[in-house]
Amino acid sequence: AQSVTQLGSHVSVSEGALVLLRCNYSSSVPPYLFWYVQYPNQGLQLLLKYTTGATLVKGINGFEAEFKKSETSFHLTKPSAHMSDAAEYFCAVSEYGNKLVFGAGTILRVKS
Amino acid sequence: SAVISQKPSRDICQRGTSLTIQCQVDSQVTMMFWYRQQPGQSLTLIATANQGSEATYESGFVIDKFPISRPNLTFSTLTVSNMSPEDSSIYLCSVRGGTGSSYEQYFGPGTRLTVT
């Protein structure tokens, strides 16, 4: 069975600082991995995805993530945080591209 | 990416009643999914709805409580039956989009349900 663990339910960074949100997954087959962002009172927006190929994937709003099979990780990073990045971020795994299994989410706070 | 709309966007319902949530997609899609997001929690898949077949429910969810219809390739409904306060959640539909190698899912804006 698939599972996702997001380390840190809340992360706080200063504006301009590095953003690092951690995600580890468990999957019995090569996984498809996703990061979604949810702004208050809104639906989920896809930030980026890894399916096959290049292990460093770039997404929208300057975010990127690296798939590390040996570490079963898919951490999300952004070099410089912006106030508009404050939101909740969900990591998700999918086997064979069907249902998504989500992590518990990480709320990102950006301090001015 | 697909554009997805849901109706209603929010509702307040009394316990014991039922609510039907509609999900409309702007393109034909094979697979549609219904998720629940309980207050302060992550998303959990309720069921997968493919056009022309019965919905497939995840463990802990049953058809009598969450009947789903999928009459065509652009539309689906989820009914929350005999509601209790524990059903207060955001219900989201999603569709699988992209090419055969992409498998990303796109989500509707959600229906915020409060049961009193």
Residue type, B6: Q
Query: Residues B61-72: what's their mean pLDDT?
Result: 96
The predicted model gives B36-59 an average pLDDT of 92
Contacts of A53 (CB under 8 A, 6+ apart): none
User: Are the CB atoms for A95 and A31 separated by under 8 Å?
Assistant: yes
| Chain B residues inside the 8 Å CB shell of A97 | 96, 102-103
Q: What is the pLDDT of residue B98?
A: 58
Q: Which residues of A24-52 are buried (b: 16+ CB within 10 A; e: fewer)?
A: bbebeeebbbbbbbbeeeebbbbbbbbbe
Using the predicted structure, report yes or no on whether residue B25 has a pLDDT greater than 70: yes
Phi-psi region of A53 (alpha: psi -120 to 50; beta: other; left: phi over 0): left
Residue of A nearest to B108 (CA): A43
B92 within 8 A of B29, measured Cβ to Cβ = no
pLDDT digits (tens, 9 = 90+) for A72-97: 999 999 999 999 999 999 999 998 76
pLDDT given at position A99? 85
Band of the pLDDT at B99, cuts 50, 70, 90?
low
Taking one residue from A and the other from B, the number of pairs with CB-CB distance under 8 angstroms is: 56
* Residue A51 sits at the chain B interface (C-beta within 8 Å): yes
Interface of A with B in 80-99 (CB under 8 A): 90, 94, 97-99
- Residue B96: name the closest of A94, A98, A42 by CA: A98
Average of per-residue pLDDT across B73-89: 96
Share of chain B above pLDDT 90, in %: 78
Query: Using 50, 70 and 90 to split pLDDT, how confident is the model at A2?
Result: confident
Instruction: Sort out which chain B residues have CB atoms less than 8 A from A104's CB and list them.
Output: 41-42
- Angstroms from A6 CA to nearest CA on chain B: 11
Out of B103, B107, B112, name the one closest to residue A32 (CB). Answer: B103
pLDDT band, residue B104 (cuts 50/70/90): confident
Say if CB A13 and CB A109 are below 8 A apart. yes
Q: What is the pLDDT of residue A112?
A: 93
User: How confident is the model at residue A90, as a pLDDT?
Assistant: 96
